[in-house]
Structures are given as C-alpha cells and as structure tokens.
Amino acid sequence: MLDGSADRSGKRGAGYSFLPLIPALFMGWSLLAAPAAMAAVRVTALRHFSTEGYTRVVLLLDRESLDFRSGRLKNPPRLFVDIPSGRLRPGFQMPAFDKTSIARKLRVGRPRKNLMRLVIELRRGKIRHKIFTLPNPNRIVIDLREIRIAKRRPGPSQAHSVKRSAPGTARSRPGPGGRSPAGNDRIGRAIFGEMRKNSVPEDKKRRSLKMTARFRAGLGRIVLDPGHGGRDPGASGLYGLVEKKVALEISRRTAEVLRDLLPPGNTVLLTRNRDRFMELADRTSFANRHDADVFVSIHLNSSPFRRTRGAETYLLAEASTPRALELAARESGTTVSRLSDLQKILNDLMLRSKVTESHQLANAVQKSSVVRLRRTYPGLKDLGVKRGPFYVLVGAQMPSILIELAFLTNPEEARRLRKKKYRRALSEGIAKGIASFVGIPVRRASGASPITGRAQP
C-alpha cells in the first residue's frame, strides 16, 4: 500500500494520488457517504510513536474520512495529508516529536476553504511512507520508514562490551565481574576499535551463517540491557535496593558468564555500563545498530504486596493479563491508559516482531533461570513466560525479551538479592538460557558433581 506516485511530487498541489482504502470499509460507508459528505471531520487526537528509523503518526477522527489525499513536497522535505472538511478538535494541542524521530515537526494549514492540510516535516534522507485507514476508532495511520539506516558510530561512552579474546591474542581480560566502570570503559573502546576494523568482512561472513554456526565461529553478538539508569532509578525496594543498580550489576555478571560459556570471538555488549540515563528507544536502536543476534533487557520487579515474588520473562505482544499491562506501563514510564492506546496503534508492528524466536528465547531463559535458582533456593516461584507491550522491545530486529528477575519488594527475595551468591545464580541462569537459545551446549554447572566424584573413590 505504498503511495509511490505521491513520492515524485515536487510542486504544491501536484502529484496527488488517491489513497488505497480498505475496501470493506469503503463499501460499507459509500451507501451513506453522500449526505454526510460536507459535514466536518474532526481530528480528535494525534498520536505518534518513534523508534530507530521509523515513525508512526496516527490521526484519530470522529468519523470515517475516506477522501483524504496525500503527497510529498521538497525544501524542507515533507509529507502532507489533505482532509476535506477537516477540523481540529477545539483546544487541540499539536504534539512534538522527540529527537530520535525521523519526523521533525507537525503543523496544520488551510490551503483552501474547507480543506485541512496536515504537514509532517521530515528529516533529510530516503524516507518511505505508507498511509492507511483503520476502523474502531476511525484512524488515518501514517508510517514513515527510513530506507537505509545510517550506521552511526557508537561513542565510547555509550558502548561497552566484553569480548572473549581469540586464542593467541595478548589482550588481557578484565577483572572479575568487570566491576570497575572505568576499566570496562577502556575495554569497550578497545573492542569497538577492533569491531569497526573487521566489520566489513566479518559482517559478510556473519550474514552467510545461521545463528548457531555464527556463534560457533565466534561471530555472534549479544546485547544485554540493564534497565533504567541515571535520573530513572526504576523500582525501589526493601533494604534500600534500587532497580537500576541491581540490574546493572547482574547484567555485568551475566556478560562475564556468557564470555566464559561462548566460544572465543563472540561479543557481549551492554547498552550502559554505568549509572546513566538512556531513552528506551535508544536501547533497541543500539542492538539494531550492532546487528545483535539477541537482545535481553534485565529488570527487577516490585509490587504493593510484599508476598508477591518470583521470576518472569516477557516478550513483546499485546498484554496477556491486566498485570502485564500495568507492569509494561511502569517499565515504559507511562500510564496504563496511554499504553492501551499505544497497544492499539502498534498491534501490527508487534505482529511483525520476531514473536516465535522471542518466545523460544523467553522459554530458554526462564527455564534456565528457574532450574539454576531452584538448585540453591528450592522454593523459587516460576511466574512463567508472558506477553506485554514493553516499549523497550518495540523495533528490535532480533529475538528480544525482557526479564523480571525477582521482586525487590518481597522480603525474602530482597534479602537474597543483597548477596553475591544469589546475584551469581541469577546471572548464570540468564547466561545459560541465552547460550542454549543460540545453540551452544552449556557445560555442566561448576562445583556440582566433581565433589561427589572425589568423595567416592
């Protein structure tokens, strides 16, 4: 449904094209169309959503409007949508786009009497658009997509990685747990230097291999995303535990464990390696930019009920329960009602995400975490794999999940979370789940059977 002819339009008013309409909707409405034709169409709300190289703008209308037209104009590059008899709802506030958006500005004009023109100013570059209507509620949806995403180089302060040295290289390994931010920043720089240098032949080879082969060849890439950071502390719990800190610590440990589990050469990247704020859209964009094979966002849960405990894993889809919607709203820094709206405008986008693979990844990580934790804490509650509209997962081009490791508000789990032993168990559980998903057989747990073996000569 790409409105191709309109793309060529350079002159005002020229190059109009009638938009493709949903036939059923059109037929249903055409019977009633004539008498209502001159009545005003009110734009009641305008919503938008952006992720890397993609923006969706949705116009909510008080009734169906099927005779709108659109086109593209240059200098500045822009897209317009003309709605005959269009009106804005009184007191309508024009929303602003955020800096990551490929749309820059929205404005409304009136080139002729009885014609409302919505103009979306676009960023320079090749941007494709697609316009379609949806019923219930009546909407005009404008999808904008950048055709080739420019590879922005990650700055050293943004990117951190832990890469297992190939045999024979002299590079020293970081200290245990990579706990010194300064130390890991240095490692991040060194590795990105290397990744850039090799990226062309490496990328070519990577693309020719299936995922497991890629990891066996040492060309796999995993992105771990410690939730929150900086001015966004996330949930706070008992014993002064703060989600952003615990998530970062466990992510670092998980990176270390993965480094030991995976064959040499594979890369594990962290979206942040210190206490800094990061926009949600920048996190998946980081994973896309690095062409990651797996994206795992690491979080800790909270509840008004102290009894509530357990581990759960989410993939991006319409919320499976009201609690999933509530959690997704909290994790996305928005309200349930606003997220319900977002859920409606994003449904088809969610369907296009890698649902099957993400489900497999979620199952592998959830199972592995529960198995690992129950070895030490038999009563651990398995809350299972669930679905929710988590903003941080929208737009990821690889299997992606969000895990809620434990409840910071549950006395027992909070007490355990303060201990290294529990954090290590959590990290091992996640790392082994990821390793098994990418098809790398996981070694037997360290420290388990050898003691028994030696005890029985």
Q: Which residues bind Zn ion (CB under 5 A)?
A: 227, 234, 299, 331
In the block, tokens 């570059």 appear at 125
Tell the smallest beta-carbon distance from residue 234 to Zn ion (Å): 4
Phi-psi sector, 245: left (phi>0), alpha (psi -120 to 50), beta = alpha
* Shortest Cβ 342–Zn ion spacing (Å): 17
Name which of 54 and 407 has its Cβ closer to Zn ion: 407
154 or 229, CB closer to Zn ion?
A: 229
Cα-based torsion angle of the residue sequence 198, 203, 209, 213 in order, rounded to the nearest 10 degrees: 40
If the CB atoms of residues 190 and 242 are measured against Zn ion, the closer one turns out to be 242
Cβ proximity to Zn ion: between 227 and 229 the closer is 227
- Nearer Cβ to Zn ion (251/266): 251
Structure tokens at 290: 């690095």
Nearer to Zn ion, 48 or 228 (CB): 228
**By Cβ distance, which residue is nearest to Zn ion?**
299
Residue with smaller CB distance to Zn ion, 227 or 388 = 227
Least Å from the CB of residue 287 to Zn ion: 17
Q: Which is nearer to Zn ion, 266 or 409 (CB)?
A: 409
Between CA 390 and CA 299 the distance in angstroms is 12
Contact 252, 305 (CB under 8 A): no
Of 59 and 298, nearer to Zn ion (C-beta) is: 298
Least separation in angstroms between residue 283's CB and Zn ion is: 12
| Shortest Cβ 374–Zn ion spacing (Å) | 24
Rank residues 140 and 324 by Cβ distance to Zn ion and give the closer one: 324
Query: C-beta of 227: minimal distance to Zn ion in Å?
Result: 4
What minimum distance in Å lies between the beta carbon of 228 and Zn ion?
Answer: 6
Secondary structure (H, E, C), the chain: CECHHHHCCCCCCCCCEECCCCHHHHHHHHHHHHHHCCCCEEEEEEEEEEECCEEEEEEEECCCCCCCEEEEECCCCEEEEEEECEEECCCCCCCCCCCCCCEEEEEEEEEECCEEEEEEEECCCCEEEEEEEECCCCEEEEEEEECCCCCCCCCCCCCEEEECCCCCCCCCCCCHHHCCHHHHHHHHHHHHHHHHHHHHHHHHHHHHCCHHHHHHCCCCEEEEEECCECCECCCECHHHCEHHHHHHHHHHHHHHHHHHHCCCCCEEEECCCCCCCCCHHHHHHHHHHCCCCEEEEEEEECCCCCCCCCEEEEEECCCCCHHHHHHHHHHCCCCHHHHHHHHHHHHHHHHHCCHHHHHHHHHHHHHHHHHHHHHHCCCCCEEEEEEECCHHHCCCCCCEEEEEEEECCCHHHHHHHCCHHHHHHHHHHHHHHHHHHCCCCCCCCCCCHHHHHHHCC
Q: Smallest Cα–Cα separation from 104: which of 151, 149, 146?
A: 146
CB of 270 to Zn ion, least distance (A): 16
Q: How far is the CB of 302 from Zn ion (least distance, A)?
A: 9
**Residue 236 or 340 with smaller CB distance to Zn ion:** 236
Least spacing, CB of residue 236 vs Zn ion, in Å: 11
Least distance to Zn ion, CB of residue 361, Å: 18
Distance CA 437, CA 442 (A): 10
